[in-house]
């Protein structure tokens, strides 16, 4: 092999902004800030290319999740094909899902790009789980997932292609399954602690994925799409979709009343849910009120459509029932809509009172302790755990031999998701200010930058630092101030400023935030300030700087990074 004659200097700064940043970044939406700073590039609506800076942060989030899944979750990593055959999705009635990307191969076989892998993983594990001795088992993967959202928005928060950690647990009985569910929630707590950004966990709706028990993990943020309700007495936190409340006083609503029609599972009963027109109807509470005896396939159908399905010949009317379910906020003076059916018998009617049918609102009484009041917070969902029971294992024909030698037992499943790329977007959203991003050290693309125009001093400084996590290459056209500004905007926790004036002392500017409120560095400072010749300067605008000799730089940076 011939060797290159010239040592080429590669352009590692190629994705950086080519000119100095100005104050306009303050007003940029996070998704655009990501692009301005060279973290990602949107290729199509809902699709992004990850650039080197963004990929570093993405990889760090991924590593934290993987580490905890292995070490604390005892989970086995797999990596499934993204192409899943139609036949599997028909078994669970999910092929008709409108958000599936579907395609055919050259032989006309149909596939979807997997948005989640309950079908595939259950089908796969059917080959390997044959005895109760093979459980509990949790498998997970960190792979790209696909969802053809009609209105992708929020950049990384809701993309059509995203990196997701999805885990699936298999247990031989419900107790083992609930233990696994708890264990996985403990893993989630550790993951979110490792990430350093404050989070809350909330009981949640199981939604379309089904199952019995579900927790969500959220970052509180005023721009979030979710709403959490927290009780000021019992501390219970729930997603608004799952939260039941009681009105301060019942029967106070005397305005307009809305109605939502539904049918019982056997279609013998028309259910008329009445609720205040000023409130959000809650399908979960409506299901609970009927103890689940509702045909969920009609959930998203219009009232007209439901009535059409209920329509029957005159001679069968006597065998049908009509059940009026009244939200407890209504009273008899409320303005009810007309009842649309002409032919019915008085005997057909039943009525259910004193239930809550609408989404809880901040200020109402907690439905859990029935004492405290609910506080509402906007939030961004970043993780979700489900105890699924046998919904998928039954549909996919899973069987195992239990300890009593019964070979027709069905495994209990759980599933556990974290959107890795979504987390990058959520952390960025929560941890930014007018200067740009402000990453915790756990996921910052670099821990430190070295800003200086004197290339030799930059190189000397670089060599004193052990960590490989240092950004020292900038576009040569950028001045010192522009480099510091860029480092801050990129959200790198420490900017090391070198120049001939102060040399052999350098300045360390702290950009990062002390997320846990810990200030352990102050103790180290008191202990070592003389020994290390370590000075602190706080400027008028509150910027914290440390003036340190080059030979102690690496030690002092390590001390500062611990709290960031």
Distant-in-sequence, close-in-space partners of 42: CB < 8 Å, separation ≥ 6: 31, 35, 48, 49, 155
Shortest approach of its own copies to residue 6 CB, angstroms?
6
* CA 504 centroid distance within chain: 46
Shortest approach of its own copies to residue 409 CB, angstroms?
16
Q: Do 497 and 453 contact (CB within 8 A), yes or no?
A: no
Q: Cα separation of 440 and 522, whole Å?
A: 19
Shortest approach of its own copies to residue 359 CB, angstroms?
26
Q: Do 60 and 492 contact (CB within 8 A), yes or no?
A: no
Q: Do 393 and 122 contact (CB within 8 A), yes or no?
A: yes
Q: Which is nearer to its own copies, 133 or 265 (CB)?
A: 133
Q: Which is nearer to its own copies, 181 or 521 (CB)?
A: 181
Shortest approach of its own copies to residue 158 CB, angstroms?
15
Q: Per this entry, what is the length of the chain?
A: 564
Shortest approach of its own copies to residue 368 CB, angstroms?
16
Shortest approach of its own copies to residue 232 CB, angstroms?
21
Distant-in-sequence, close-in-space partners of 161: CB < 8 Å, separation ≥ 6: 46, 47, 48, 144, 145, 146
Q: Which is nearer to its own copies, 115 or 247 (CB)?
A: 115
Q: Cα separation of 33 and 489, whole Å?
A: 9
Backbone dihedral angles phi then psi of residue 291, each to the nearest 5 degrees = 50, 40
Shortest approach of its own copies to residue 171 CB, angstroms?
9
Which contacts qualify for 529-533: CB closer than 8 Å, 24 or more apart? 532/556
Number of neighbouring beta carbons within 10 Å of residue 559: 20
Q: Do 253 and 276 contact (CB within 8 A), yes or no?
A: yes
Shortest approach of its own copies to residue 424 CB, angstroms?
12
Q: Which is nearer to its own copies, 4 or 517 (CB)?
A: 4
* CA 12 centroid distance within chain: 32
**In degrees, to the nearest 5, what angle opens at C-alpha 66 toward C-alphas 174 and 212?**
25
Q: Which is nearer to its own copies, 50 or 446 (CB)?
A: 50
Q: Cα separation of 117 and 104, whole Å?
A: 19
Q: Which is nearer to its own copies, 47 or 369 (CB)?
A: 47
Q: Which is nearer to its own copies, 48 or 272 (CB)?
A: 48
Q: Which is nearer to its own copies, 170 or 275 (CB)?
A: 170
Q: Which is nearer to its own copies, 468 or 542 (CB)?
A: 468
CA nearest to 203, candidates 239, 230, 178, 169: 239
Q: Cα separation of 361 and 338, whole Å?
A: 28
**Cis-peptide, bond into residue 320, ω within 30° of zero:** no
Shortest approach of its own copies to residue 562 CB, angstroms?
25
């Amino acid at each position: 092999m011939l060797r290159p004659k010239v040592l080429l200097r590669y352009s590692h700064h190629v994705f950086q902004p080519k000119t100095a940043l100005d104050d306009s970044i303050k007003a940029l939406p996070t998704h655009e800030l990501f692009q301005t700073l060279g973290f990602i590039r949107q290729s199509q609506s809902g699709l992004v290319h990850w650039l080197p800076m963004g990929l570093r942060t993405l990889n760090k989030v991924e590593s934290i999740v993987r580490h905890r899944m292995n070490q604390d979750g005892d989970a086995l990593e797999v990596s499934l094909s993204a192409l899943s055959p139609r036949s599997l999705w028909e078994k669970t009635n999910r092929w008709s899902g409108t958000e599936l990307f579907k395609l055919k191969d050259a032989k006309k076989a149909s596939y979807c790009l997997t948005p989640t892998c309950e079908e595939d993983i259950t089908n796969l594990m059917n080959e390997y789980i044959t005895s109760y001795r093979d459980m509990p088992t949790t498998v997970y993967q960190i792979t790209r997932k696909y969802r053809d959202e009609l209105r992708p928005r929020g950049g990384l928060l809701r993309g059509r292609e995203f990196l997701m950690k999805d885990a699936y647990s298999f247990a031989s009985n419900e107790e083992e399954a609930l233990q696994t569910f708890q264990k996985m929630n403990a893993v989630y707590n550790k993951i979110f602690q490792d990430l350093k950004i404050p989070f809350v966990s909330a009981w949640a709706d199981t939604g379309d994925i089904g199952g019995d028990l579900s927790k969500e993990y959220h970052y509180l943020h005023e721009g979030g799409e979710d709403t959490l309700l927290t009780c000021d007495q019992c501390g219970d936190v729930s997603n608004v979709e799952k939260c039941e409340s009681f009105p301060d006083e019942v029967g106070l609503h005397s305005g307009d009343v809305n109605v939502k029609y539904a049918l019982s599972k056997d279609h013998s009963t028309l259910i008329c849910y009445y609720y205040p027109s000023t409130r959000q109807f809650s399908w979960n509470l409506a299901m609970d009120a009927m103890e689940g005896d509702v045909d969920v396939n009609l959930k998203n159908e219009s009232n007209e459509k439901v009535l059409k399905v209920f329509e029957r010949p005159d001679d069968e009317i006597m065998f049908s029932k009509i059940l009026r379910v009244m939200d407890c906020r209504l009273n008899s003076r409320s303005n009810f809509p007309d009842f649309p059916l002409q032919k019915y018998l008085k005997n057909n009617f039943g009525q259910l009172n004193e239930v809550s049918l609408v989404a809880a609102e901040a200020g109402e009484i907690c439905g859990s302790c029935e004492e405290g009041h609910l506080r509402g917070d906007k939030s961004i969902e970043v993780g979700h755990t489900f105890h699924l029971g046998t919904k998928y294992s039954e549909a996919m024909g899973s069987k195992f031999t239990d300890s009593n030698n019964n070979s027709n037992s069905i495994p209990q499943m759980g599933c556990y998701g974290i959107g890795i790329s979504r987390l990058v977007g959520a952390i960025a959203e929560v941890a930014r200010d007018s200067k740009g991003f402000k990453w915790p050290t756990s996921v910052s693309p670099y821990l430190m930058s070295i800003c200086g125009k004197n290339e030799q001093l930059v190189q000397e400084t670089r060599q004193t630092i052990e960590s490989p996590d240092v950004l020292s290459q900038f576009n040569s056209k950028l001045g010192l101030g522009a480099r510091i500004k860029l480092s801050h905007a990129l959200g790198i926790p420490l900017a090391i400023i070198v120049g001939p004036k102060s040399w052999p002392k350098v300045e360390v500017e702290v950009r990062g935030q002390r997320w846990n409120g810990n200030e352990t560095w102050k103790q180290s400072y008191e202990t070592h300030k003389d020994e290390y010749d370590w000075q602190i300067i706080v400027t008028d605008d509150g910027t914290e700087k440390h003036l340190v000799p080059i030979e102690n730089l690496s030690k002092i940076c390590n001390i500062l990074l611990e709290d960031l």
